[in-house]
Amino acid sequence: MNNLNVKARKLLETKVVGVVIGFETGPTGIVRPAFITDPSKADTLIYDEHCTQNLAVYLTKPEVKKLGKIGIVAPLQVMRGIMMLISEMQITADDIIVLGISSKGELLEISDISVMQGLIEKSELSNPLKDKELLDKLTSLSREERFKWWQNELSKCIKCYACRQACPLCYCTRCFVEVNQPQWIQVQSNTYGNMEWHILRAMHLAGRCISCGECGRACPVGIPCHLLTMYLADETFRYFGVRAGTSDKMKSVLSVYDPGDKENFII
């Protein structure tokens, strides 16, 4: 991934960016996010199949924004996250330089947002295969069986909110779970309260989820909570024909009426 290191170093040396967000290998051998501000450290950036975290989550963090313009290593799921953040007016295209990464792991030249949009449009945007298989398995169950399955999974939730914190689209400075007048959901962790949280979160991400799977990956107790938002990503595509994070002008499908909306779900 030599090209990436060269590009990152150049961006930092010429002070085009104040920081490059990418991946490094930590001392225990685990791949993790890296924030490179010193051009001489640009060589520590890596990119391989272990670089799965969605780095777009950092674009809205105040301490990261303080470092100046951001260069960000961006495989598809990060590009889609960036697109969503621009369309929802959380960042502007001028705040960032995108170091795009192709599905083969090669550095892509992305001069502006329209180039990125073109690349996204050409990519496979449906849910990853292994998640699709799991979803198919779940949807083949009866409603009662499925409910029981989720009850069992969500009973493990400890409400650490790693799912929320890892999600690039969960950027609310005050999440509904933190509102207590009125109390939206129970603060404590119990099976039904946990279900409330995950269902509401999924609904809040319906039409916004970019299918990166980061929420499920972040969960310390291994709940596949990404299946909820991925299912809704499929559903909104089915009803509205739109995949999230494909255009910087996109309006949230559940917030906007368009005369062209498919209406076959209206009874």
The β-bridge partners of 157 are none
Q: Does 178 bind another protein (CB under 8 A)?
A: yes
Task: Choose which of 6, 16, 141, 158 interacts with another protein (CB under 8 A).
Answer: 158
Q: Does 35 bind another protein (CB under 8 A)?
A: yes
Q: Does 28 bind another protein (CB under 8 A)?
A: yes
Task: Choose which of 2, 14, 49, 63 interacts with another protein (CB under 8 A).
Answer: 63
Q: Tell me the C-alpha distance between 29 and 47, whole Å.
A: 14
Task: Choose which of 43, 221, 235, 238 interacts with another protein (CB under 8 A).
Answer: 221
Count of residues binding another protein (CB under 8 A)?
38
- What is the nearest approach in angstroms of another protein to the Cβ of residue 63? 5
Residue 46 tokens, joined: 């890596």
65 in helix, strand or coil? helix
Q: Are strands 70-74 and 96-101 parallel, antiparallel or unpaired?
A: parallel
Which range binds another protein by CB under 8 A, 23-31, 68-76, 91-99, 256-264? Answer: 23-31
DSSP state of 229: H
Q: Does 26 bind another protein (CB under 8 A)?
A: yes
Q: Does 187 bind another protein (CB under 8 A)?
A: yes
91 in helix, strand or coil? coil
> How buried is residue 234: exposed, middle or buried, by Cβ count under 10 Å (0-12/13-18/19+)?
middle
Q: Does 189 bind another protein (CB under 8 A)?
A: yes
- Residue 161 has phi, psi (to 5 degrees) of 60, 30
Only one residue has tokens 């404590």, namely 188
Q: Does 30 bind another protein (CB under 8 A)?
A: yes
Q: Tell me the C-alpha distance between 180 and 204, whole Å.
A: 18
Residue 71 tokens, joined: 């260069």
Task: Choose which of 6, 16, 141, 160 interacts with another protein (CB under 8 A).
Answer: 160
Q: Please identify, using beta-carbon distances, which residue of 19 and 99 lies nearer to another protein.
A: 19
Q: Tell me the C-alpha distance between 207 and 266, whole Å.
A: 18
Binding stretches for another protein (CB under 8 A): 26-35, 53, 57-58, 61-64, 158-162, 164-166, 173, 178, 183, 186-190, 217-218, 220-222
